[in-house]
């Protein structure tokens, strides 16, 4: 369905394009010094995901960082939308109503092998070992750090990769500041958020809350979600910082509704509906203390409670044929010692967690199934850095008691070599595991090893390039029903990224990922895993007008079975525009406007879960 521009929408869009009188012509006749547009140095970020903060040139894994500035420019609602723009990532139900539960892959690794963390605390459900990324709003996110590949030696069950969300900290420069975000789109799709932040003497605070609602861009695909997040940070009188974080998220979602369809013989097929309620409360108390000039102690304790209610039925009948109730409580603590400097350092630590799980499954005409589990888990780890000139060696080892029946050992050895100020080679080998459904069916955790080799450079004028080759061997893989398979799978491929520097306000980026996943014994390619992925972005910045725009494109070949009638091998485009009303004022309100699915394209892996057509949204962002 194509949406037409109403007079209101047309007026709203013109606000973005109409220049301020003072700024008109300012950039029009400005000459650009092309000789100055060269990358003088590699911009390095301190990344915390390997357990020890270090520059990206000393990280052996393939790492991507999403900054708060990029989050704002994308006008995103939840974490899923951010990850969908990252090379190598693909959502199985992209382009539907914001905030939905979706499965993701990283270079072919599925959600069950991807560890999602918020401030270092796992967000993966114990039963299915999947994180609900659609329930993580972007408002509280400072940055997202992503490892594409195994990282069990540092984090435990992270065979396929890690997504670590770092939340915002209190504003240290003001006693009171804040922001308001409000958007409205088709089908009453609305996102309302507010945040307050500041520091009074030694006490800092950050508080945010939001409401995400939609009647559903597709049938039975609506959402009502509310979130409250707070952080208090107290600087102790002597030294050290004590931080308390509390997060509460509640949502009610209609995941899908598939109407009955006649088959070739005239019999009706399909016919189901699926609704999902979720309540999640989590808290984290952390303590950081410098014991000596090169020795730091970090400790935290955390608690979380999760309750979900999944209801499945038919459209043509009022009752339910399946209901799934889940209750989880997790108590945990972590401690680590960080010793060293930029050249030599060692991080050692331990983790302990007690998990209580109750699952009740009711299926029509079958006995109810129930699982009650109470078990303890712990891990011990050590990760280090040794640098000699341009070469950095990165060893790591870890031992995990996964549950009462399974213990796992993980290790990694990586290296980086800085060839020039703007070029780095990197590679690593790692052995690790993922729990998959082991908590439910007592099966052995999925295990495997991964190897990567890659590099990046900014030595080419006007261009930044990055490339990675990856190879993974996994076994003891559990399918969706929890059945243990004895076969192995080989996942291999490569990823290439390129980014240009701005020229007359324009810059661009492209990422291509090729993934080949096969059964090791038969050599048959596994279906349902994206084979080709392309991520495109064209960015325009005009500070004099206060105008920013970004056009993103996502291409996917799903490699789905023919009977699922996939729509792929095409691009899905989104356009995001942001206009600062008073460009010269730092705290000027910003208007934003987004056209989702710009060309009204169809792109999905399964005809039961089609994407929404073109839809529009706009709103205002104001900081004070």
What CATH number has the domain bearing residue 275? 2.40.170.20
Q: Which segments within 558-587 are labelled E, that is strand?
A: 570-580
Within 10 A of 5 (CB to CB), how many other CB atoms are there? 12
Q: How would you classify the pairing of strands 241-262 and 506-519?
A: unpaired
The per-residue pLDDT of the chain, averaged, comes to 87
2 located within any domain: no
Domain coverage including residue 539: 7-623
| Nearest residue to 595 via CA among 8, 7, 9 | 9
Instruction: Give the separation between CA 347 and CA 335, rounded to whole angstroms.
Output: 10
Q: What percent of the chain has pLDDT over 90?
A: 69
Tell me how far the alpha carbon of residue 487 is from its chain's centroid: 30
What is the greatest pairwise CA distance in the chain? Answer: 79
Of 121-130, 305-314, 568-577, minimum mean pLDDT range: 121-130
pLDDT confidence tier of residue 319, bands split at 50, 70 and 90: confident
Q: With 90 as the cut, is the pLDDT of residue 179 above it?
A: yes
536 located within any domain: yes
pLDDT digits (tens, 9 = 90+) for 138-158: 999 999 999 999 999 999 999
1 located within any domain: no
The tokens describing 195, both together, are: 């945040």
pLDDT confidence tier of residue 350, bands split at 50, 70 and 90: very high
The DSSP symbol for 154 reads: H
Quick one: pLDDT at residue 21? 32
What per-residue string of b and e applies to 198-221 under the rule 16 or more CB within 10 Å gives b?
bbeeeebbbbbbbebbbebbbebb
What per-residue string of b and e applies to 311-344 under the rule 16 or more CB within 10 Å gives b?
bbbeeeeeebeebbbbbbbbebebebebbbeeee
To which residue do tokens 């243990």 refer?
A: 484
In this prediction, residues 22-41 reach a mean pLDDT of 29
SS3 track for 251-276: EEEEEEEEEEEECCCCCEEEEEEEEE
608 located within any domain: yes
In this prediction, residues 65-94 reach a mean pLDDT of 92
Long-range contacts at 308-314 (CB < 8 A, ≥ 24 apart): 308/125, 308/276, 308/277, 308/278, 308/279, 309/276, 309/277, 309/278, 310/274, 310/275, 310/276, 311/274, 311/275, 311/276, 312/272, 312/273, 312/274, 312/275, 313/272, 313/273, 314/271, 314/272, 314/273
CB 130 within 8 A of CB 74: no
pLDDT confidence tier of residue 54, bands split at 50, 70 and 90: low
pLDDT digits (tens, 9 = 90+) for 188-219: 999 999 999 999 999 999 999 999 999 999 98
Quick one: pLDDT at residue 47? 63
Quick one: pLDDT at residue 441? 64
Of 10-24, 50-64, 185-199, 560-574, minimum mean pLDDT range: 10-24
pLDDT digits (tens, 9 = 90+) for 533-555: 999 999 999 999 999 999 999 99
In this prediction, residues 121-129 reach a mean pLDDT of 87
Instruction: Give the separation between CA 52 and CA 294, rounded to whole angstroms.
Output: 13
CB 148 within 8 A of CB 49: no
Instruction: State whether residue 10 is helix, strand or coil.
Output: helix
Quick one: pLDDT at residue 479? 60
Quick one: pLDDT at residue 48? 61
pLDDT confidence tier of residue 292, bands split at 50, 70 and 90: very high
Quick one: pLDDT at residue 8? 42
To which residue do tokens 């939001």 refer?
A: 210
Q: Counting beta carbons within 10 angstroms of the beta carbon of residue 130, is it exposed (0 to 12), middle (13 to 18) or buried (19 or more)?
A: buried
Instruction: Give the separation between CA 79 and CA 499, rounded to whole angstroms.
Output: 23
Provide DSSP, 232-254: EEEE-SSS-EEEEEEEEEEEEEE
Instruction: Give the separation between CA 433 and CA 446, rounded to whole angstroms.
Output: 5
Consecutive H or E run containing 82:
helix 79-83
44 located within any domain: yes
276 located within any domain: yes
CB 84 within 8 A of CB 77: no
Give Rg (Cα) of the chain. 25
For the chain, the domain total comes to: 1
In this prediction, residues 296-309 reach a mean pLDDT of 96
């Amino acid at each position: 369905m194509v949406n037409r521009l109403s007079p209101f929408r047309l007026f709203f869009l013109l606000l973005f394009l109409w220049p301020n009188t003072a700024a008109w012509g300012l950039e029009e006749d400005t000459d650009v010094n092309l000789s100055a547009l060269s990358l003088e140095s590699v911009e390095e970020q301190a990344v915390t995901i390997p357990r020890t903060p270090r520059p990206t040139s000393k990280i052996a894994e393939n790492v991507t960082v999403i900054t708060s500035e990029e989050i704002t420019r994308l006008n995103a609602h939840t974490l899923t939308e951010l990850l969908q723009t990252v090379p190598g990532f693909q959502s199985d139900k992209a382009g539907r109503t914001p905030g939905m539960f979706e499965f993701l892959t990283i270079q072919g690794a599925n959600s069950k092998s991807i560890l999602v963390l918020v401030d270092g605390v796992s967000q993966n459900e114990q039963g299915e070992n999947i994180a609900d990324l659609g329930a993580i709003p972007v408002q509280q996110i400072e940055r997202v750090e992503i490892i594409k590949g195994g990282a069990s030696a540092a984090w435990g069950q992270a065979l396929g990769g890690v997504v670590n969300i770092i939340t915002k900290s209190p504003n240290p420069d003001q006693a009171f500041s804040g922001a308001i975000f409000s958007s409205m789109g088709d089908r009453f799709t609305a996102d309302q958020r507010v945040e307050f932040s500041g520091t009074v003497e030694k006490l800092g605070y950050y508080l945010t809350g939001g409401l995400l609602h939609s009647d559903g861009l597709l049938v039975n695909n609506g959402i009502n979600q509310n979130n409250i997040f707070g952080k208090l940070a107290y600087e102790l009188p002597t030294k050290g910082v004590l931080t308390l974080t509390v997060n509460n998220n509640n949502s009610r979602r209609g995941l899908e509704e598939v109407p009955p369809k006649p088959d070739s013989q005239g019999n009706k097929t399909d016919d189901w509906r699926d609704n999902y309620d979720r309540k999640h409360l989590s808290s984290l108390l952390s303590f950081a203390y410098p014991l000596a000039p090169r020795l730091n102690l970090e400790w935290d304790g955390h608690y979380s409670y999760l309750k979900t209610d999944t209801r499945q039925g038919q459209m043509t009948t009022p009752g339910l044929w399946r209901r799934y109730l889940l209750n989880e409580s997790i108590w945990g603590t972590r401690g680590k010692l960080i010793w060293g400097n930029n050249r030599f350092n060692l991080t050692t630590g331990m983790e302990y967690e007690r998990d209580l799980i109750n699952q009740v499954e009711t299926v029509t005409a079958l006995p109810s199934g129930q699982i009650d589990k109470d078990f303890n888990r712990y891990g011990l780890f050590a990760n280090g850095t040794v640098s000699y000139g341009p070469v950095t060696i990165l060893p790591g080892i870890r031992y995990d008691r996964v549950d009462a029946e399974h213990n796992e050992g993980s290790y990694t050895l990586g290296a980086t070599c800085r060839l020039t100020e703007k070029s780095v080679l990197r590679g690593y080998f790692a052995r690790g595991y993922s729990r998959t459904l082991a908590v439910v069916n007592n099966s052995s955790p999925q295990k495997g090893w991964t190897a990567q080799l890659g590099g990046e450079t900014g030595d080419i004028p006007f261009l930044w390039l990055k490339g990675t080759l990856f190879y993974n061997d996994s076994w003891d893989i559990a399918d969706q029903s929890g059945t243990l398979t004895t076969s192995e799978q080989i996942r291999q491929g490569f990823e290439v990224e390129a980014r240009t520097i701005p020229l007359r306000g324009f810059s661009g980026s492209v990422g291509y990922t090729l993934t080949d996943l096969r059964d090791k014994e038969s050599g048959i390619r596994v279906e349902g895993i994206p084979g080709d992925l392309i991520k495109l972005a064209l960015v325009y910045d005009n500070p004099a007008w206060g105008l920013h725009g970004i056009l993103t494109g996502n291409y996917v070949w799903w490699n789905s079975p023919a009977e699922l009638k996939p729509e792929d091998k095409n691009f899905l485009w989104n356009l995001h525009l942001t206009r600062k009303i008073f460009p010269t004022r730092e705290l000027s309100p910003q208007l934003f406007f987004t056209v989702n699915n710009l060309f009204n394209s169809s792109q999905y892996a399964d005809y039961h879960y089609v994407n929404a057509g073109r839809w529009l949204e706009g709103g205002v962002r104001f900081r004070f």
